[in-house]
Structure 1
Amino acid sequence: MTFSISAQDVQSKARTGTLTTDHGPIQTPIFMPVGTAGTVKTVHQRELETDINAEIILGNTYHLYLRPGLDVLKQAGGLHAFNGWRRPILTDSGGYQVYSLSNTRKIKEEGVTFKSHIDGSNHRFTPEGVMDIQRTIGADIIMAFDECTPYPCEYSYARQSMDMTHRWLDRCINRFDETEGLYGYRQTLFPIVQGSTYPDLRRQSAEVIASKEREGNAIGGLAVGEPAEEMYAMIELVNGILPADKPRYLMGVGTPANILEAIALGVDMFDCVMPTRNARHGILFTTEGVINIKNEKWSRDFNPIDPGLGGYASTFYSKAYLRHLFKAEELLAGQIATLQNLTFYLWLVRQARSHIETGNYVSWKNDVIGQFMQRL
């Protein structure tokens, strides 16, 4: 993997660049749709490529490990061959899922034991094992195994967890460097900065991660309930330490406002379930603001969902028709809404790239954040 910066905003840390993998280039800043179980929910791969033009999607190590399982994925030739996605894939390490399974998991130095949410069976993730799992899945970018601490989190626990995450990182690096990819293309490993919302811990973690000199770095453990101002402060602190010539990935973030502010702080890569999850509940992100399409006010609005966006779903279907589909509990409702939200998120980061290159990113961001986040 290579990364090159093409433009730098003069009023902020925002920049544009190109991240190149064996499955193709990725223009940054970029939003990555989440494909938890080998699919972005309700959307065909063809639509991801042609309608949304997603340049990279995510897979989830925990879910893919449990189902369909590593034997199936290996026999298929990896996740790319299994789901037919020809562009880059990033897999998380399963650390966040372990965090969310707080009632059914035990964390020790060796690794984490947990019960499957599917059948209750017992499993264990270790740093070495997670590297092997992600080798088998075959993503272009794989994540180090870490512990995501909750918010709020006591300082002593945050420090102990961070230190263990750093020790796990060394084990991940050793295993990754002594193994090879299985399917004839290269993979790269991103470490993850932790430290909760404590500046000294975030600083220490960023210094440790930077010292590993990997091809890219991630910021984890944010957007777990802390105020946005604290999240932005941690991002700014960490990005002042992580090397500027390597991509920075903010994990699990977030709203359109979060993304635009984090871009201004020097973040290059984002993922979040918000656009797809909200879509299935009838919450639409549009260029005019946020819409709850289930509300009665849209029942006779025959205008396109979002004429300012230009995507197929946004301009072909009316708000009234989409509301009808939700009220009738038709499966097409979730598909149209997901296409709308993902089209908006990808449009958003492309607009950000354009304004960074033009040199007016900060003024544009300040002008549109309120509009994009207002409830209609």
Structure 2
Amino acid sequence: MRNHIAASLALAVALAIASPAFAQKADDADSLLTRAVELYNAGNAAGALPLAQQALAALERQHGPDHLDVAFTLNYIAVLQQQLGRPQEAEPLLLRALSIRQKALGSDHPQVAALAQNLAMLYRAQGRRDEAELLFKRALSINEKALGQDHLAVAANVSALAALHQDAGRPRDAEPLYKRAIAINEKAFGADDPQVSPSLVALGELYRTSGRLAEAEPLFKRALAISEKSFGPDHPDVATSLHELAMTYWVLNRIDEVEPLFKRALAIREKTYGTDHPAVAQTLNTMAGFYRDQGRHADAEPHFKRVANMYEKALGPDHPGVATSINNLAVLYQEMGRPTDAEPLAKRALAIREKAFGKDSPQLLNTIHNLAELYRTLGRDSDAEALNKRAETIKQKAK
């Protein structure tokens, strides 16, 4: 599961801090936001949220509801809400922030583009691809016009649009956009600069998921070499490249090479972030999937359990990431012949997703399917059939 939310937070902060207004905040709001960012970076989005909300209240009291500093903080809170699995609460905050910036700066300002991009990321995470595409294209158009074709903000825009196309199964549309992002970053920084590595990894992931493994491997190796040369062997960017390279070798069935790469990536992330950070959970979750695929259920189970506990601690009990992790554990238990252990987990995963996305969202389909299969294993054919009918109804509504 790609961490779209963390990426959107990084983009939101990077673009919004560039605003001169950010440096002019009242001391209390500034200190509250600084502490919120520290908590988020430590993996504690739930702790960051109330501090950011207090900062918003202070800014509204001092400047009124339509100040640019208010828009910045609304944007930040919205991304935190999304990180915590509350997209319905994030959307009105982003819309309000976008309205403030448009009114203050005009509809073609780069700061408006930044908010359009973040709103598009929210819609992408919700599966609202048509709405997301319009906003991604609007952000790209604004920045191309205001900043030029080769600006770094444009590289971020085209990368985000490429990822949306990749989600939608449109690799031919995604590939030239990823290549354009690489070209912009290489022109700005040089071919061996670490700023180029994320774009290389993104294109490599597109090739890997498209079955173009021979093209994916050298991109991951190049990104790995750049990061190791620039930062040393223990940097988080090194861990990212190791993780992706391990995934590629897994698909290539070069099994003996997979586990050492995952273990090294895990060690780097634990050293960098601590043992309970979502970045650590990502590697643990993928390792658990690898062990499961290899029939090593006893090795997979503690990893899946640890991931579920980490996501619940970091994101709260009702986050979709928690649903994904406990659903994975439920499937594992079913494969291990433990359906009575699997059922409560599968039901809880479905309840979390219903709360987060609504009862008719396509985001529920995988969880519904898994629960239906579990009911068939338990001999509860009527319950399984009811779930299958529900899934079909959701599919029809989504067309």
TM-score (norm 2): 0.31
Return the structure number with greater strand share. Answer: 1
Return the structure number with greater helix share. Answer: 2
Greater C-alpha radius of gyration: 2
